[in-house]
Structure 1
Amino acid sequence: MRRRRLTIAATGALIAALFAVPGAANAAAGPTTLPAGQYTLSANYNQFDAVNAALVSTLGTAPVHTVMDNANHDRTGLPSSFSPAGLETGFRFDSGDNSDCTNFPQGITTSRDAIGTANSGNYDGHQLVVVSWYTKAGCDGAQSRSRITLVDWDATYPNKYRKVLLVEPTGSATTPNFKDIPVHAGGVSWYGDYLYVADTGRGMRVFDMRKILKTNTGGTADQIGRQSSGVYYAHNYAYALPQIGTITAGTTSGTNLAWSTISLDRVSKSIVMTEYTCQSGCTSYPNRAPRAIRYPFASSGTFAASTTASQALQLPWYNLNGVASHNGRWWFASSGQKQLYYWTSATGSATYSWVSGAESISYWEDDVNPDLLWSLTESAGSRNVFAVEQATYDG
Structure 2
Amino acid sequence: MAPAAPAERAAMRRAIALAARGLGSTSPNPVVGCVILDVSGQIVGEGWHRRAGGPHAEVEALRDAGERSRGGTALVTLEPCDHTGRTGPCTQALIDAGIARVRYAVADPNPAATGGSSTLAAAGIEVEGGLLAEEAEAGNLAWLTSVRLGRPFVLWKYAATLDGRTAAADGTSRWISSPESRADVHRLRAQADAVVVGSGTARTDDPQLGSRPRDAELLDSGITQPLRVVVDSNATAVKPGARVLDGHAPTLVAVAEDADAAHLEGLAPVVRLPRAPRRGLNIPALLDALHGRDVRSVLLEGGPTLAGAFVAAGAVDQVVGYLAPALLGAGPAALADAGISTIAQALRLDITDATRLGPDLRITAVPTANATPPEES
Shorter-normalised TM range: under 0.3
Q: Which structure: greater strand fraction?
A: 1
Q: Which structure: greater helix fraction?
A: 2
TM-score, length basis structure 2: 0.26
> Which structure has the greater CA radius of gyration?
2
Structure with more relative contact order (C-alpha pairs < 8 Å, separation 6 or more): 1
TM-score, length basis structure 1: 0.25
